[in-house]
Amino acid sequence: MPREDADQALPEAREAGLPGAVAHVYPLGSRINAAGHLEIGGCDTIELAREFGTPAYVYAEDDMRERARVVTQAFARRTERFGVVYASKAFPCTAALRLFAEAGLDCDVASGGELHMALAGGFGADRIYMHGNNKSDRELEEALAAAVGHIVVDSFDEIDRLERLTGDASQRVLLRVTPGIEPETHASIRTGQADSKFGIPMAHVGQAIERCSQAGLELRGLHAHIGSQVYALDVYEALADVLLQIGDLPLLNLGGGFGIAYTRDERPPSADEYAEAMLRGAPRDVTVLCEPGRSLVGNAGVSLYTVGTVKEIPGVRTYVSVDGGMSDNIRPMLYGAVYEADLAARFGDSTPCRIAGMHCESGDVLVPEAALEDPRPGDILVIPATGAYGHAMANNYNAVRRPPVIFCREGDARVVVRRETYDDLTLRDR
């Protein structure tokens, strides 16, 4: 993939050596090249769209490596007793899993499928944590057969199943606890409140610990995850306090929830601030685990679309419709996730508009309030900060083929997940 020569930054002033006010929502190193086109990982996005088609998920490979390094170093500067566990549900792709395995991270999986992908991506089984609030017998058998490092026990029913399936064999487990802590985030991505499908209620934790012992399970620690997009860091110290009151165990998994910037006015805490908050309440002899997912991949990826129609409704609004939508990014429809959009060849905001998808739903709207620079049919539109949960939640509504995943690095682009074909849509039919 050819790279244009000039080094014109994205509009606005530079910030910490990166392009200006929009830099933190785009992958590291993004810029506008001599042709006036957005570059990701050194690759011209207009050329990417021409070569690979749209919609497409595009990632800056070095961005993910750097974010893994930054999180790891944030904890390493403060303690030797820590672990960084990639929450693979954010972006379950074997190329990404391989990248994070090579970076020295561990891996969190929440299904038999995610376990299969983590192993295929190069994670040693001993570096895998098996999650899930309703693991089937088959999934538990698969985890045991693979000899995963830890199973995160989520219910008394699961303890019973593990007792039956392990027999006399030993299995290391963490106990997932519902701490009764509600962070300030969207209700759909809170997980630590008392009324939650996840974990053991605090009132029953003592009984669960005893039951693990009776079942012959090796209880290594406690786990709690309070939610996603957590900006108020005091909740992590409160969470550590709650878990430490339960008992003295060697592992304390405080979950993930590290926030990212979806819009240019959002400023999430840094990796150092998250590490400091998580470690503040933990004793020095306890190993603290964290589970970042979104924060490792969210801003590393963008979605490319082609504008099909621009429809002005006098006195109402202008609709800019693209060739994707809720099939490749259902988060805005699922829980009101907010994104921004730009034209890959014309950054600017002269035209207020609504970015609509192509699906047969009035609610198929990717960005309700956007501002583009004179949008026209055929333009390539880019939505930043879509590296997390877009590919993971992609679907075939209206029999639309799921997009490819393209990794870009130093001007070279490679397809790590191909676009589906029409034959793929009927492959499982009988």
Q: Could you list the active site residues?
A: 360
DSSP 10-23: SSS--BTTB-STTG
Per DSSP, 197 falls in state S
The Cα-based distances of 88 to 58, 125, 191, 358 in angstroms read 18, 14, 17, 29
The DSSP element (H or E) to which 238 belongs, if any, is helix 234-244
What stretches of 82-234 adopt beta strand conformation (E)? 82-87, 106-109, 128-130, 150-153, 172-178, 200-201, 218-223
Place of tokens 């709650």: 242
- In 55-144 the beta strands, taken as DSSP E runs, fall at 56-60, 82-87, 106-109, 128-130
The DSSP H or E segment spanning 419 is: none
Question: Considering only CA atoms, which of 27, 68, 96 is closest in space to residue 385?
Answer: 27
At 254 the three-state DSSP class reads coil
* CA 236/CA 179 separation, integer angstroms: 11
Are residues 141 and 130 in contact, defined by beta-carbon separation less than 8 angstroms?
no
Longest dimension (CA), the chain: 73
CA nearest neighbour of 265 among 231, 226, 304, 307: 231
For the stretch 78-117, what's the b/e string if a residue is b when 16 or more beta carbons lie within 10 angstroms of its beta carbon? beebbbbbbbbbbbbbbbbbbbbbebebbbbbbbbebbeb
Query: Which tokens in the block code for residue 409?
Result: 């690095």
DSSP code per residue over 374-390: S--TT-EEEEES--SSH
Pairing of strands 365-372, 351-356: antiparallel
Residue whose structure tokens are 């499908």: 197
Contact 143, 115 (CB under 8 A): yes
Radius of gyration (C-alpha) of the chain in whole angstroms: 22
Q: Strand, helix or coil at 176?
A: strand
> What gap in Å lies between CA 298 and CA 364, rounded to an integer?
21
